[in-house]
Amino acid sequence: METRLPHQGDGVDPLHIRSVDTLYFHADDMGATPNITTRLLDSWETGLIDGFSILGGSDHSELIASRLQALPDRPARIAVHLNLAEGRPLSPSTRSTRLVDGNGHFNIEFFGFLNRYYLPTNQRERNTLVSEVEREWRAQIEDVIKIVEPRPVAALDGHIHMHMMPFLFPLAVKLAGEYDIPEIRNVRESFYLSQNIKECLSKRFLVNCVKRAVLSRFSDKNAICAEAAGLKSPDRMLGVLYSGRMSRANILTGIAAARRQGAERIEVFMHIGRATNSELGRWNGNRSKASFAMSPWRDTEYEELTKIRGQEPPEWRERRAS
């Protein structure tokens, strides 16, 4: 089936999507590896993305800081990407907790952590677990604040959306208030089918549908929690249903679907930075855990974003010149 792009009546410009206060493009995973970080910084500098989420404890924080300082007048919507899923913890006290494996790497998976909290533990053990997370997330927030200063941190969000869990979202809201961070990502994505039907006929899409359903169930209660604390969140987001397969086709149709449902502020978050074989150390050499970060689809997603923003990757120009 051929892709049918939304027309002007849908409220979407199919030729060149421009960022405005109500629509912005965001990239996750800044600081994960040098290659991911460099691509995200390049994309921000050229206007491909409007902002990015930074992981605390990055080994190359000086690169991020220097690139931000070199362009003090270029706006950047910066978020802390709260992490429990990969890499090593930042807080020394976290290294002896149940959040890490025997090698000192985070060992948390989304559904596994839900089970760990709700199934066998008593309330005291649950409180201890949340306290361990709080110490680590404080360290991550403080680390990112130092990296980007004097720029402000605009938002909190979570790696693999871990912060959306009902027992962790209130913690993230509390930390946002203490560190004067005005916004938190509450993942609310409209269900929609891409106009390119092939993108809906895959196992990954079905898995993402389950993920979206779980996050949607959490989002209503989370919205009440955030609003009570005076925190803002986008009305709708794109980036779960087609995570790892974001394209011009599903982004345009997703924006149109969100607009039809009355959304004013929309965040399109993408994974456009790709790790290399030489960077497997972040995942302790585990290719299975690194598979998403190393997927060639990340290059495709990057190229699709350049199309929708009316740009082309610098490497394309270099190829032509050579």
pLDDT score at 4: 36
- Give the residue ranges of the chain where pLDDT is below 50: 1-16, 316, 319-320
pLDDT of 171-184, one tens digit each? 999 999 999 999 99
CA separation for the pair 189, 213 (Å, rounded):
9
Question: Can you give the pTM of this predicted structure?
Answer: 0.89
pLDDT score at 313: 54
pLDDT score at 66: 97
Helices 203-228 and 169-178: crossing angle in degrees, nearest 10, is: 50
pLDDT score at 178: 98
- In angstroms, the Cα distances linking 318 to 42, 276, 321 are 15, 21, 5
pLDDT score at 19: 63
pLDDT score at 43: 96
Query: Among 215, 227, 221, 182, which residue's Cα sits nearest to residue 80?
Result: 182
- Give the class (CATH, top level) of 12-321: alpha beta
CA separation for the pair 244, 263 (Å, rounded):
23
pLDDT score at 6: 40
Contacts of 168 (CB under 8 A, 6+ apart): 130, 133, 158, 162
CA separation for the pair 273, 203 (Å, rounded):
23
Written as one string, the DSSP assignment of 273-288 is: ----GGGGGGGTT-HH
